[in-house]
Amino acid sequence: MRKIAIRIDDVTDDMDWEKFGRFEEILNRYHIKPLIGVIPKNQDETLCRNTKKEDYADWLKDRQKNGWFIAMHGYDHRYVTKKGGMFPLNHFSEFAGLEYEEQLQKLKAGKEALSDLGISTDIFMAPAHSYDYNTLKALGQCGFTHITDGFGSRPYSFRGIVFLPIAKRRSAELKAESGITTFVVHTATMREEDMIGYEQLFQEHKDQFVDYNMLYQMPAVKRSVWGRWMEYWMAVLKHRLLS
Ligand SMILES: [Zn+2]
């Protein structure tokens, strides 16, 4: 059966802590350790829902110590281009379409901001899932080795970066016989019935949900040009279906 890891996007010091806490409780009950995407210098006001947490850095470090994974989720989470890049699920981006040098500076600044919090990571989570070849090159330059994105049933490598795939269609992933993927969660927009839905999901598929570490540790296969082409068009199709 296909294994499923969890990633939670949009972690900031002023996020909706109550909702995050409610989801964390559920994860803990089912012993699931997720990947969380931390925005180093958030400027996206739609994500600010609380006063800043005072012990934020310690909170992050405690989670990391406890086996959670942390990804750098962009730099400031502001969409400055209308590009979808190489995985066009959305046609807007913080990175795709910008010059290499500008992307490099953002990634460097993000890394520094995380380091000020005492956090280091080699996983990148692109806001809106949008990145391009310049992003990959700049990521490599900044010491990032992994991206949480792309479609596939196991980690794959492309242009020197390991892609840790996300789910294409949840119902199909739950029924698949083998492989591994990631369900993407945004706690801030979840209602109570969504929380209950996750509890039921974890209960019903107890053996399928795994720690993010399992996905991260799995050896990557090389992605062919054909595989890349398929992924691109599947993203285009998914975008059309959703919009
Ligand atoms: Zn985000």
Place of tokens 């089912």: 30
How many whole angstroms from 77 Cα to the centroid of ligand 1? 7
- Kindly list the domain boundaries of the chain, sorted by start residue: 3-242
Residues near ion ligand 1 (CB < 5 Å) are 9-10, 127
Whether the CB-CB separation of 165 and 218 falls below 8 Å is answered with no
Q: Quote the pLDDT of residue 48.
A: 85
> Helices 17-29 & 192-204, crossing angle to 10 degrees?
20
Going by CATH, does the domain composed of 3-242 fall within 3.40.50.2000?
no
Q: Quote the pLDDT of residue 51.
A: 86
The pTM assigned to this predicted structure is 0.96
Residue 50 scores a pLDDT above 90: no
149-166 average pLDDT score: 97
CA–CA dist 51, 11 (Å, integer)? 14
% of the chain surpassing 90 pLDDT = 96
Q: Quote the pLDDT of residue 92.
A: 95
Handedness of CA 18, 68, 72, 124 (dihedral sign): negative
Highest mean pLDDT (candidates 36-40, 42-46, 52-56): 36-40
Please, which residues have CB within 8 angstroms of residue 123's CB and are 6 or more apart in sequence? Answer: 35, 69, 70, 71, 72, 144, 145, 146, 147, 148, 164, 216
Q: Quote the pLDDT of residue 60.
A: 98
- Confidence grade of residue 153 (pLDDT, cut at 50, 70, 90): very high
How many whole angstroms from 83 Cα to the centroid of ligand 1? 16
Q: What token pair was written down for 132?
A: 């391009």
How many whole angstroms from 127 Cα to the centroid of ligand 1? 5
93-107 average pLDDT score: 98
What's 53's DSSP letter? P
Whether the CB-CB separation of 138 and 100 falls below 8 Å is answered with yes
Residue 242 scores a pLDDT above 90: no
Q: Quote the pLDDT of residue 49.
A: 85
Residue 241 scores a pLDDT above 90: no
Residue 83 scores a pLDDT above 90: yes
126-154 average pLDDT score: 97
Q: Quote the pLDDT of residue 243.
A: 73
Q: How does the average pLDDT of the chain come out, rounded?
A: 96
How many whole angstroms from 126 Cα to the centroid of ligand 1? 8
Please list the helix, strand and coil fractions of the chain in percent, rounded to the nearest 5, in that order: 40, 15, 40
How many whole angstroms from 177 Cα to the centroid of ligand 1? 30
Whether the CB-CB separation of 187 and 26 falls below 8 Å is answered with no
How many whole angstroms from 8 Cα to the centroid of ligand 1? 9
Please, which residues have CB within 8 angstroms of residue 68's CB and are 6 or more apart in sequence? Answer: 33, 34, 35, 36, 212
